[in-house]
A = this chain, B = another copy of it.
C-alpha cells in the first residue's frame, strides 16, 4: 500500500506544508523516521526529533509552530494524536486479518446458538444454553461456560475464559488469557481457624464497548452481579473482585486491584498498581495515581489522589518533598533542643 502525502492529508482532513507529491508506505515513530515513512508529533517531549527525523511526512496539530527548520513535509490537522489514530485505523482496516467460519476441532453444545458471520477457532469450547450475537469472534482455546450471552461484534481473544452466566454487551474485546466470572474470594472463618467456602452464585455483567486486558481477572458476584459499565477500558493483570461496580468510561491501568463491593464512578482514571479497598464509593471523575491505595470513599467529583494511602496529590507531593529532607529536619530539631 502506497499513498502520496496529499492523499493522506485528505484522508485526515488536514493540510500539507511542503511537498505533498511524495509517496509514503510506512508509519514510523518520529525518533526512528526514515524516508518513505510518516510520523506524528503530539507529546512535545518528542519535539526535538522533529528537526532530525528523516520521515517524509509528520502529522502535527493546527496550533503547533516549529522553532527550527523541518525537512519533512507537515500534515496539519486539528489534533495530531487523533489524526494519527485515524491513520492507524485506516491502515488497520486495510491490513487486519479476517476471521470467519469454524475451525476443527472445536466444541459447541447443541443447545447454544451463534449469530451469522461469526468465527470459532480450533479448540474453542462453548457450553450449554449460550447465546452469541452476530459477527462474534471466538478465537482458539477460548472457554465459554454455560448460560453465557455475548453481544454482536465481540472479539474473544485466544485462551480467554468467560465463566457461567456472564453477560457481555456488544463490541467488547476480551484479550488473551483474561478470566471473566471466576468465583469471588469469599470464606467464612470457623471457630477452629479453618475457613468455610461461601458459594458465589452471582455473575458478571459487562456493557457495550468494553475492553478487558490480557490475564485480567473479574470475579462473579456472591449474589447479583459484578457490573462493568459501558465504555470501560481495563488493562492487563487487573483484579476486579466480587460485587464491584465500575461506572461508564472509567479507565483502569495495569496491575490495579479493586476489592469486593467497591463502587467506582464514571469517567475515573486509575493509574497502574492502584488499589481500592472494599465496600467504598469513588465519585465520578476521580483520578487515582499509580501505586496509590484508596482506603476511604471519595465524595467529591474530580479529585486527584496520590500516596501510599491516597491523599490529595498536591498535599502528598508537598509532604513527600519534606520526607526526603527528614534526616536534615531531625538534625535541626536536635540543634534547637541543644541550644534551648
The answer to whether B214 touches A179, judged by C-beta atoms less than 8 angstroms apart, is yes
The answer to whether A85 touches B201, judged by C-beta atoms less than 8 angstroms apart, is no
| Chain B proximity mask over A64-106: 1 for CB below 8 Å, otherwise 0 | 0000000000000000011001001101100111000001010
| Chain B proximity mask over A142-167: 1 for CB below 8 Å, otherwise 0 | 01011000000000011101011000
Q: How far is the CB of A12 from chain B (nearest CB, A)?
A: 14
The answer to whether A224 touches B337, judged by C-beta atoms less than 8 angstroms apart, is no
The answer to whether A199 touches B91, judged by C-beta atoms less than 8 angstroms apart, is yes
The answer to whether A275 touches B249, judged by C-beta atoms less than 8 angstroms apart, is no
> Which residues of chain B are within 8 angstroms of A103 by Cβ–Cβ distance?
107
> Which residues of chain B are within 8 angstroms of A224 by Cβ–Cβ distance?
28-29, 32
Whether A61 sits at the interface, judged by CB under 8 Å, is no
The answer to whether A319 and B315 touch (CB under 8 A), given A82-B188, A182-B214, A337-B336, is no
The answer to whether A217 and B236 touch (CB under 8 A), given A123-B125, A337-B336, is yes
> Which residues of chain B are within 8 angstroms of A121 by Cβ–Cβ distance?
125
The answer to whether A188 and B81 touch (CB under 8 A), given A254-B239, A323-B323, is yes
> Which residues of chain B are within 8 angstroms of A199 by Cβ–Cβ distance?
85, 88-89, 91-92, 96
The answer to whether B272 touches A273, judged by C-beta atoms less than 8 angstroms apart, is no
The answer to whether B231 touches A195, judged by C-beta atoms less than 8 angstroms apart, is yes
Scoring A81, A182, A217 by chain B CB atoms within 10 A of each residue's CB, the highest score goes to: A217
Among B92, B141, B163, the residue within 8 A (CB) of A143 is B141
Whether A9 sits at the interface, judged by CB under 8 Å, is no
The answer to whether A308 touches B311, judged by C-beta atoms less than 8 angstroms apart, is no
Number of interface residues, chain A, beta carbon within 8 A: 112
Interface residues of A in 91-143 (CB under 8 A from B): 91-92, 95-97, 103, 105, 107, 121-123, 125, 139-141, 143
> Which residues of chain B are within 8 angstroms of A28 by Cβ–Cβ distance?
223-224
Beyond A143-B159, A257-B272, A322-B327, 12 extra complex contacts between A and B, CB < 8 Å: A81-B188, A103-B107, A107-B123, A107-B140, A161-B176, A173-B197, A217-B236, A219-B236, A277-B290, A291-B291, A318-B326, A333-B333
Q: 10 interchain pairs (CB within 8 A)?
A: A29-B223, A95-B201, A122-B125, A159-B159, A182-B236, A213-B217, A237-B237, A273-B293, A275-B291, A332-B337
A residues in contact (CB < 8 Å) with B: 27-29, 32, 43, 45, 81-82, 85, 88-89, 91-92, 95-97, 103, 105, 107, 121-123, 125, 139-141, 143, 145-146, 157-159, 161, 163-164, 173, 175-177, 179, 182-183, 185, 187-188, 193-199, 201, 209, 211, 213-215, 217, 219, 222-224, 231, 233, 235-237, 239, 241, 243, 248-249, 251, 253-255, 257, 259, 266-267, 272-273, 275, 277, 279, 290-291, 293, 307-309, 311, 315, 318-327, 329-330, 332-333, 336-337, 339-340
